[in-house]
Chain A
């Protein structure tokens, strides 16, 4: 068998969402890899422009099935900043608690998926069973398992009763015990270690160069975490450490995520024990702005950024979502250099990709001869952008680029 190019995706058992990786193989070794994103445009940003801020928050909560609270909170923080709302402490604490519970269920889900990708289904079954504990807690607190809807403009939707607090603390103890067991499994199971260590290597320099964020970057020693670097919600008052690792491989990414789980349990304990008294929300105005804001938020997968532009009406003028996967997805090609076909699923899974959240419409630009082209090179893109800005009244043609 000579060199063959095999398609992983858009439909493939290893991928939970449509995405295309064309992999050129020489035997089992990867020679070249092409990442194609853009199969899943849903038009969420545009649909936000036609809705009020509250409605837009609910739409944005549906960007991602795993980090739903992430996108809702990230958006609402920006809106509150524009409106100058002072969210009550208790509301912030509840928001932060949901955020950490979400991180737990996301990381536990990821652990199971990672197990499945290397053919270790027992790990998948175990970690997903334990994930039910945190899912039940989320249901107890918010009434929902996936899209919690815990935010309102100016605070939190539901309060937490002392009984619920007790249940949460009980759940944390149980989860911590289970997570310690998984840490033991990850450090002792021979076949698992064989499949994970030295796989998907991304050096510290490459991690910086490719702009990786979140656990993917932290496993290569990139010490960034929005919760610490640009604290929001209740994070300034919490004691926690940012887990980093210098294995630089998939094994390191497992270690980082398991370590973050332990940190999250401690954070939720602090939040529950120090829950301040008072109201959970303030009344928000219907019309916001004018003004604009960029909101940063540490999602389970890395930093999530929302840009909101308000024009003084009850609807946002522009909402832009940058999901964390966009920053990480290009590093996959680097990680798979000189890799094996067998490592493709786990390396892709190791960045914890969320393709549907990342994908935007691909605008295929017409050539002068009227035929649509699939892609543009850098030069053509620059020329196109200069032309476009000229029509808006700005001339960038003299601007220097590095």
Chain B
């Protein structure tokens, strides 16, 4: 009981995720800056930004529904935090696990996106509404390839639970190599989920100011930003749990291995962000259905065949 409470609140729960989110943002920004030949922010910059936003006034548009408007950032934050409980972090076993928790994690990761959409829609600003329509359009484009790409390893492992997948690939690490195409599909689709270049279309600064977040300010914006940071960590953890068969079942060493995996993922995210231009929404949808979805389907078919051959 006590251990569970500790795990929920401290590690890998809320406290760890908040700290990790802040540091992930720092590392992402620093790497992005170094890729661009800039100095980049000091290590405390994301914390300073967060504290500054907390101290600012919350402005709620008159036309908006105040309760919904202020509840959405918290909903996004909670959903992102909850997802980590089903993902194996430092050891092979997640905090909670059951057959099918893979679907739950994907579902929980969709909630922040829906919160962004509703947040933009309820703020009734034109820029925010266009941003939220784009958020939803984009969701339909990347969600299917992402789900299929994460499902493919599960098919081969014959378990729809993330802990089960981790256990299977830690026994047969080489079989994870079969999933490389799915890994790339998931990596690209995750950029859409996190709304980062080349898929940062919903918050394209030069077109629609800040997109869905245009009307958000102060504490509420701070929560949204924290939710995005935590989502980034959770997505990195999900990718490394499903696709990287590298596990040490010892507490201290396990945590270090986990953090290294996170860093590698965040490095890849930052690399993506610095080498591409932002696509247009129609190009993005085209790309996802023309290339990502078939690639994910191919992987699914491949894994069905492999499953018959290997197991």
Contacts and interface: CB of A to CB of B under 8 A. Distances in A.
Contacts of B45: none
A345 interface: yes
27 contacts: A1-B129, A1-B130, A6-B208, A14-B207, A28-B281, A115-B277, A117-B206, A118-B277, A119-B197, A119-B205, A120-B197, A120-B276, A121-B36, A121-B197, A122-B36, A125-B37, A189-B276, A191-B279, A194-B277, A194-B280, A195-B278, A195-B283, A340-B282, A341-B208, A342-B278, A342-B281, A343-B280
B213 interface: no
A210 to B, nearest CB: 24
B35 A122 contact: yes
Interface of B: 35-38, 126-127, 129-130, 133-134, 197-198, 200-201, 204-209, 274-283
Contacts of A116: 206
A275 interface: no
A119 B134 CA distance: 16
Main secondary structure of the interface of A (DSSP, over half): helix
A194 B200 contact: no
Contact of B206 (A14, A122, A340): A14
Nearest to A124: B36
Nearest to A195: B277
A123 B127 CA distance: 26
Contacts of A13: 205-206, 209
A126 B276 contact: no
Nearest to A29: B282
A192 B126 contact: no
B279 A195 contact: yes
A98 B283 CA distance: 42
Nearest to B275: A122
Contacts of A1: 129-130, 133
A342 B205 CA distance: 10
A343 B277 CA distance: 13
A194 B291 CA distance: 15
A286 interface: no
Nearest to A348: B206
A174 interface: no
B279 A194 contact: yes
A6 B37 contact: no
A118 B36 CA distance: 16
Contacts of B282: 28, 340
Contacts of B38: 125
A344 interface: yes
Contacts of B36: 121-122, 125-126
Nearest to B134: A28
